[in-house]
Amino acid sequence: MATGVEAWLPFARAAAIGWMPVASCPMPVAPRDNCRRQDELIVLNVSGRRFQTWRTTLDRYPDTLLGSSEKDFFYNEEAKEYFFDRDPDAFRSILNFYRTGKLHYPRHECISAYDEELIFFGIIPEIIGDCCYEEYKDRKRENMERLQDDQEENKDLKLPNMNFRETMWRAFENPHTSTMALVFYYVTGFFIAISVITNVVETVPCGLTATQKDMPCGERYTVAFFCMDTACVMIFTVEYLLRLFAAPSRYRFMRSVMSIIDVVAILPYYIGLVMTNNEDVSGAFVTLRVFRVFRIFKFSRHSQGLRILGYTLKSCASELGFLLFSLTMAIIIFATVMFYAEKGSSSSKFTSIPASFWYTIVTMTTLGYGDMVPKTIAGKIFGSICSLSGVLVIALPVPVIVSNFSRIYHQNQRADKRRAQKKARLARIHLAKSGSANAFLLSKHNGLLSNLLELTSAEADGQKLAKPSSLYESQHHHLLHCLEKTTAHEFVDEQLYEQSCLEAMLQSFPARKPSVSSHEDAATSCCGRRTRRNTPLTHAGSNQHSPLRELSAIHIQCGDRTSHAPSRSNLNLKPTDDLGRIHCKSGRITTAIVSLPTASSLTHDADKLRGPPGRRPPPSSGQPGGGSIQTTTSSANIVKVSAL
């Protein structure tokens, strides 16, 4: 049933009285409205601003957030209101939608913010009223174009594994990517210019020769020009072949405009090579030379502006078509009129209607060469009308083309500006990310140290080396730690990684430790464990037999296997299998591992820790079960670590 007319249902039911006397069979029983809820006022608190409305108003649209039971999730018991932590300004238009049934788009609002609000409240934007729909669509389209520009720039990012062919293609498409590409770019540009200038200079008369004839330079220095031409064509051919080789889709490349221009530019030369012998077709060969001028279009690869112009013309195809059509119409009309008007006068140049076309075109474009002028009075009158209308007909479609060009051009400008901004933005993001990664590694290190210190000293005095400040951070770090445990690898920073890579190349791999199976067991159980809040470590520290542990077991085993990657917490001793297995049965997780140290080993470990991180700790094998040392690899905050 349509929304908004719910209030009229009682009326519709009352109107059914007209059917009763006519009905021949009894009516069905009416549903009883047992919970006769009086219409009540609902308070909607949106970021402090209170809106109030009737419940039935909201019930009008049951498939939105406010109209369905979904709003119960936001109900605040103490204040007896619904609280939404959203923008109150945008909420106004949303609430008005319920009241009036029409959704309006406030013009000052940002389109993506508004869209988000709509999605949050479960309203589809298609029901925006006609009054605001155009504006909404325009803004949305602009935004999409902007986003598209951003996406296209993402293609510039260097993919880590590009083979030679892809690198070459990228070099061709974006000359800024490497020096070679830039060199290639400039070289081809230079040769295009040379080729064009050669074509032009060829036809200039070069001065008198022995035969007293003014020859064009091309005929005088045939060999020189031929060599130049050959060189250019060779370069172009090589370029074309290289592009063809590097193109990801050769078929599509061959169909593209630029490659067709390339082909057309170099083909005349080859045809000329083949055909020089045959004198009959040399005339045709000469005309082929005209196509050499297409080489100038190769510049469009080098010039953004040219490309924009081409794109504009393509997008204004309909306007251009209209211009052409209306011009043709006008030309035919005026040519006919002029012909008949000038028919009477003698020695008139207007010999036929097609002959008058020339006059009409020259007049309409306000050129006025003067080679054909009307002589009769009627002719002059119509001629003046022709020139006046010419101005109008041409002036009409031009602004459309101009505005299109301007829009596309500005879009490009915006894209360039955004590219520059993006670099700065990416740098900032990178900084933030590395900062966060470093924070994790640092806190791990600190946690480890403070853990050891706690165990050595009875109470943890203020040696809480730079504890992470918030619960959020500690939880985040715990999460990262769990990931480490899951994959049995560790996060390290870049220098360490590079160092370890170097070391790997220099050193041989250590002997593999056995007990892979227990590692796998522990790993699976680690992953499959349920999460639960855990006790603080001090608590855990006290009951060291308690089942808190041991991801470090896996960790250490893996640490052994990958021990060429020195990490701070790699205290390469491993516990026995049964210890690991016992603890895995428990349901609690922490990443804090309690160690049962013996004094000597502990100091040994601590020493190791204080040493330079680059030093590879010596692997040790097969410790007796009871005295096994486990390393403590705790995540950030020792006191409060919450399980995943």
Partner 1 sequence: MKNKNREQSLSDSRELDGSYDPLTDSEEDDFELSTVCHRPESMDKLQEQTKFTKKELQVLYRGFKNECPSGVVNEDNFKNIYSQFFPQGDSSMYAHFLFEAFDSDKNGSVSFEDFVFGLSIILRGTVNDRLNWAFNLYDLNKDGCITKEEMLDIMKSIYDMMGKYTYPTMQDDAPREHVESFFQKMDRNKDGVVTIEEFIESCKKDENIMQSMQLFDNVI
Give 23 or 424: the residue with its C-beta nearer to partner 1: 23
Q: Is 424 in the site for partner 1 (CB under 8 A)?
A: no
Give 17 or 395: the residue with its C-beta nearer to partner 1: 17
| Separation in Å, CA 277 to CA 191, 218, 530 | 28, 19, 88
Beta carbon of residue 313, minimum distance to partner 1 (angstroms, whole number): 46
Residue 19, classed as helix, strand or coil, is coil
Q: Is 317 in the site for partner 1 (CB under 8 A)?
A: no
CB distance 331 to 390 below 8 Å: no
Q: Is 416 in the site for partner 1 (CB under 8 A)?
A: no
Give 63 or 498: the residue with its C-beta nearer to partner 1: 63
Beta carbon of residue 7, minimum distance to partner 1 (angstroms, whole number): 2
Report the distance separating Cα 247 and Cα 602, nearest Å: 62
| Separation in Å, CA 245 to CA 169, 182, 192, 241, 270 | 9, 19, 21, 6, 21
Q: Is 35 in the site for partner 1 (CB under 8 A)?
A: no
Which tokens hold the place of 40? 């009540």
**Cβ count within 10 A of residue 77:** 6
Give 20 or 458: the residue with its C-beta nearer to partner 1: 20
**Cβ count within 10 A of residue 451:** 22
Beta strands at 41-46 and 49-54: parallel, antiparallel or unpaired: antiparallel
Beta carbon of residue 18, minimum distance to partner 1 (angstroms, whole number): 5
CA angle centred on 272, ends 270 and 278, rounded to 5° = 135
Considering only the stretches 27-35, 380-388, 447-455, 469-477, report the one whose residues sit in contact with partner 1 under the rule CB under 8 A: 27-35
Give 9 or 113: the residue with its C-beta nearer to partner 1: 9
CB distance 490 to 558 below 8 Å: no
Give 38 or 69: the residue with its C-beta nearer to partner 1: 38
Count the site residues for partner 1 by CB under 8 A.
Answer: 33
Q: Is 131 in the site for partner 1 (CB under 8 A)?
A: no
* Binding track over 251-290 against partner 1, x by CB under 8 A: ----------------------------------------
CB distance 393 to 364 below 8 Å: yes
| Separation in Å, CA 255 to CA 261, 265, 267, 303, 525 | 10, 15, 16, 21, 58
H helices of 163-256, where? 164-173, 179-202, 217-220, 222-246, 250-255
* Binding track over 46-85 against partner 1, x by CB under 8 A: --------x-------------------------------
Q: Is 41 in the site for partner 1 (CB under 8 A)?
A: no
Q: How many helices (H) and strands (E) does the chain have?
A: 24, 6
Beta carbon of residue 102, minimum distance to partner 1 (angstroms, whole number): 12
Considering only the stretches 10-18, 144-152, 477-485, 510-518, report the one whose residues sit in contact with partner 1 under the rule CB under 8 A: 10-18
Beta strands at 81-84 and 75-76: parallel, antiparallel or unpaired: antiparallel
Binding residue for partner 1 (CB under 8 A) from 24, 69, 287, 517?
A: 24
Q: Is 40 in the site for partner 1 (CB under 8 A)?
A: no
Subset of residues 99 to 128 that bind partner 1, contact rule: CB under 8 A = 99
Considering only the stretches 14-22, 245-253, 260-268, 442-450, report the one whose residues sit in contact with partner 1 under the rule CB under 8 A: 14-22
Give 21 or 248: the residue with its C-beta nearer to partner 1: 21
Give 7 or 466: the residue with its C-beta nearer to partner 1: 7
Which tokens hold the place of 505? 């190349």
Report the distance separating Cα 424 and Cα 420, nearest Å: 7
Q: Is 13 in the site for partner 1 (CB under 8 A)?
A: yes
Give 30 or 420: the residue with its C-beta nearer to partner 1: 30
Q: Sheet of 49-54: strands edge to edge?
A: 49-54, 41-46, 81-84, 75-76
The residues of the shown chain that bind partner 1, judged by CB under 8 A, are 1-2, 4-27, 30, 32-33, 38-39, 54, 99
